[in-house]
Amino acid sequence: MSSDRHRDVARVLVLVLILNVAVAGAKLIFGYATGAVSIISDGFHSLTDSASNIMGLVGLRVAQRPPDRSHPYGHRKYETLAAAGIFMFLLLVVIEVVETAFARLAGGVSPRVTSASFVVMLVTVAINLLVVRYESAHGRRLHSELLLADAAHTRSDVLTSCAVLVSLTSVWLGYPVLDPIGALVVAIFIARTGYEIAMETSGILSDRVVLGEDDIRRIVMDVPHVVGCHQIRSRGSRDHAFLDLHVWFSGDTPLSEAHRLSHVVKDRLMHKYPHIVDAIIHIEPPPSEIPAPR
């Protein structure tokens, strides 16, 4: 990761961290003051946003280190690990929310809902919408799965806050049992977001394909004197991909010329996909020209 990109991603995370702490604090204060378990649950959800921001900043710090002897491919996956850490926080929140909701259902204590509760929730929803828009835009611009994962986390806050508003309205109308039920709805939203983040980060960590094989082949075959290619493999993330493939040249092509053309192939690929960190081109004759073993 370049130092400029690292600084931009970190700047976004710091600003979002400040907003998330403010939102979580407001929800938890009013939740405990009124006894509304749905607001408390939503407050814990927002609190994990802050924790994930801190984890993201730590991950960015490590991911910035250049390649070394023990990590020849660099430390980029530490940022992905930080994104995966968001999933772990979400899992803990789901457990906490479900336990609190069932305890309230068993206890039967009615929360005290005031007009201030609605004001706090509406203001925090507005803040979260701004955070999602801001973080998603910068995540796409910087090609950062960490920012995009964190934006998805915050987006779930908007949905859960809407569910909390419905619960508060029901309590206001005389149906207090819907407060813990609303908290369980919050848990479902959180679990869904956690699943999406887990699928995205696990794909990167398990070296899922990131570049379309047909697109790569089309670019390679446009290079003069290339006979064909195969064994196209790619891995990494949106902004940090590795590629290797075998390119066929006629058997009578001089080695120096094949080597030169392989660099043409590499340059065209990296121009088309600037997020390719490195592309390894293996030179070989087409299968039809390979002598049969004796």
Parse the chain into domains and list their residue ranges. 3-205, 213-289
- Confirm if 149 and 238 have CB atoms less than 8 A apart: no
Tell me the β-bridge partners of 241: 236, 276
- Confirm if 175 and 45 have CB atoms less than 8 A apart: no
pLDDT of residue 110: 67
Q: State the amino acid at position 117 in one-letter form.
A: S
- Confirm if 171 and 134 have CB atoms less than 8 A apart: no
213-289, superfamily in CATH?
A: Cation efflux protein, cytoplasmic domain (3.30.70.1350)
pLDDT of residue 267: 94
pLDDT of residue 245: 95
**DSSP H/E element including 278:** strand 276-284
pLDDT along the chain (294 residues), means of 10: 73 89 88 81 79 76 77 78 77 81 73 79 89 88 78 77 82 80 80 81 86 92 92 84 93 90 94 87 83 49
pLDDT of residue 109: 63
pLDDT of residue 189: 77
Q: How far is CA 22 from CA 11, 15, 43, 125, 133, in A?
A: 17, 11, 10, 12, 18
Minimal CA–CA distance to 136: which of 126, 150, 119? Answer: 150
- Fold for 3-205, please state it: Alpha-lytic protease prodomain-like (1.20.1510)
pLDDT of residue 268: 94
pLDDT of residue 3: 66
Name the DSSP class of 253. Answer: S
pLDDT of residue 156: 72
pLDDT of residue 292: 46
pLDDT of residue 293: 46
pLDDT of residue 118: 86
pLDDT of residue 34: 80
Question: Which stretches does DSSP call E strand in 126-239?
Answer: 226-237
pTM: 0.64
